[in-house]
Amino acid sequence: MRSPDNPAARRLARVRAGLAERQLDGLLVSHIPNLRYLTGFSGSSGWLLLDGERAILITDGRYETQAQQELPDDAGFELLVLHDKVLAGLADKAAHEFAGRRLGLEANHVAVDQWQRLRDDDGAVDWRSISGLVEEVRAQKDEGEIELVRKAAETAAAALADTLPLVQPGTREVDIAAELEYRMRRHGAEGAAFETIVASGERSALPHAATSECPIQEGDLLLIDFGARWRGYCSDLTRTFVVGQADARQREVYDLVLAAHEAACSALRVGALGSEVDAQARRSFEAAGLEERFPHSTGHGLGLEVHEGPRLGRHSEERLRPGTVVTVEPGLYFPGWGGIRIEDDLLVTAEGATALVMLEKGWLRSLPL
Ligand code: ZN
Ligand code: ZN
Domain of 51: which CATH number? 3.40.350.10
Angstrom CA distances, 365 to 81, 94, 127, 208, stand at: 54, 58, 55, 22
For residue 226, the ligand closest to its alpha carbon is: 1
Q: Looking at the domain assignment, is residue 2 inside a domain? A: no
Query: Crossing angle, helix 32-39 and helix 7-21, to 10 degrees?
Result: 120
Q: Are residues 120 and 149 in the same domain?
A: no
At 363 the pLDDT is: 61
40 and 9 in contact (C-beta within 8 Å)?
Answer: no
pLDDT in tens, 137-149: 999 999 999 999 9
Element (H, E) at 197: strand 197-200
Q: Are residues 170 and 24 in the same domain?
A: no
Does this model's pTM top 0.85? yes
CA of 136 to the centre of ligand 2 (A): 19
At 369 the pLDDT is: 67
The residue-averaged pLDDT of 23-44 equals: 97
Strand boundaries in 4-158, DSSP class E: 26-29, 47-51, 55-60, 77-82, 102-106, 126-130
CA of 106 to the centre of ligand 1 (A): 27
Among 138, 158, 184, the domain boundary falls at: 138
CA of 222 to the centre of ligand 1 (A): 14
| 4 confidence band (pLDDT: 50, 70, 90) | very low
Q: Are residues 261 and 216 in the same domain?
A: yes
Cis-peptide, bond into residue 165, ω within 30° of zero: no
| 366 confidence band (pLDDT: 50, 70, 90) | confident
Q: How many domains does the chain have?
A: 2
The residue-averaged pLDDT of 250-272 equals: 96
| 5 confidence band (pLDDT: 50, 70, 90) | low
Q: Are residues 148 and 134 in the same domain?
A: no
Q: Which residue in 116, 120, 115, 61 sits closest to 86, CA to CA?
A: 61
Q: Are residues 69 and 209 in the same domain?
A: no
Q: Are residues 150 and 124 in the same domain?
A: no
